[in-house]
Structure 1
């Protein structure tokens, strides 16, 4: 399912990660990066605003937002607030708006609540499948080393950081 440009997709981050990997083993930070990277690629070809919501995960912090691209933003909820509760409140505030709202989760209670507020639902495995079916764009010959030159400095820096972490 490809969202329309005026859609807002709200993604339960750890739920989507858990649909692909065993969260009791492995590197959550790496999986978060991979999910966000896949969503950036997906929204580049299927334009829609995307908010990825992660629980504070036992860290005492205030709610923080990180803008990854013009279309993808990541939210870490405030301490004590689950991603589920955040998404449910978001759906309640969004109710009655004309913008299409799509909630991505495989949590049955969460998607039923979101649907009650008028949001559409997409399962976590269905999102992974949609992202996997994206056509791969080929880099034109001779441009591979120059692709980053047109990107803003902050994005170039983030790409270098991610590359160094691999």
Structure 2
């Protein structure tokens, strides 16, 4: 079964403390960090991720782009992220696809549930992402511990002479 996670971008930014703090100084940096975290999530879980941002921060026609292999949608003028997410829930619905929508907007959760999508609160997603990041760090630590210590190809005497040459000593 295919898994798709549709993320209400500004809702998540407003709900996660680190993103909310960053948004107060640099909205673009907060968007980029969310996209990076969702790219890691996508790579780790194999879940297709689509992030939807409201148009009220980026005016004009709908813009779709891929950033770090994550699909990013900026809604068209006068369209909310909630409306676009509802459309996506309908468009992407199929027998072999499970759609989750990440938002803490209670009304939106009920609407998308009616479209056949499953809800995931901002807090649930944050816990999943933090757990995944911890797992990745643990895996890296294990890999580093398994690596054999570096052994010089040269004898100790030759290594010392090469080090002296490197320093310009004779």
Same fold by TM-score, threshold 0.5 exceeded?
A: yes
Secondary structure in 1 matching 2:25 = coil
Contact 1:58 1:79 in 2 (8 A): no
The alpha carbon displacement at 1:67 in A equals: 1.1
The alpha carbon displacement at 1:59 in A equals: 3.5
Contact 2:22 2:30 in 1 (8 A): no
Secondary structure in 2 matching 1:52 = strand
Does 1:125 find its partner at 2:120? Answer: no
The CA RMSD measured in Å over matched residues stands at 2.2
Alignment correspondent of 1:111:
109
Alignment correspondent of 2:153:
none
The alpha carbon displacement at 1:128 in A equals: 1.2
Alignment correspondent of 1:78:
76
Alignment correspondent of 2:35:
36
The alpha carbon displacement at 1:58 in A equals: 4.4
Secondary structure in 2 matching 1:9 = strand
Secondary structure in 2 matching 1:136 = helix
Where structure 1 has 5 or more consecutive residues not aligned to the other structure, the ranges are: 142-166
Question: 1:65-111: per-residue Cα shift (whole Å, max 9, x none)?
Answer: 111244x2111111111101111122233345431111110001101
What is the TM-score when the length of structure 1 is the normalising length? 0.73
* C-alpha spacing 1:8/1:57, structure 2 compared with 1 (3 Å): same
Please show how residues 83-102 of structure 1 align to structure 2 within 5 Å: 83-102=81-100
Where structure 2 has 5 or more consecutive residues not aligned to the other structure, the ranges are: 145-170
Q: Which structure dedicates a bigger proportion of its chain to helix?
A: 2
- Could you list the structure 1 runs, at least 4 aligned residues long, displaced by more than 4 angstroms after superposition: none
Does 1:61 find its partner at 2:69? Answer: no
Contact 2:55 2:78 in 1 (8 A): yes
Does 1:50 find its partner at 2:49? Answer: yes
Does 1:17 find its partner at 2:13? Answer: yes
What is the TM-score when the length of structure 2 is the normalising length? 0.72
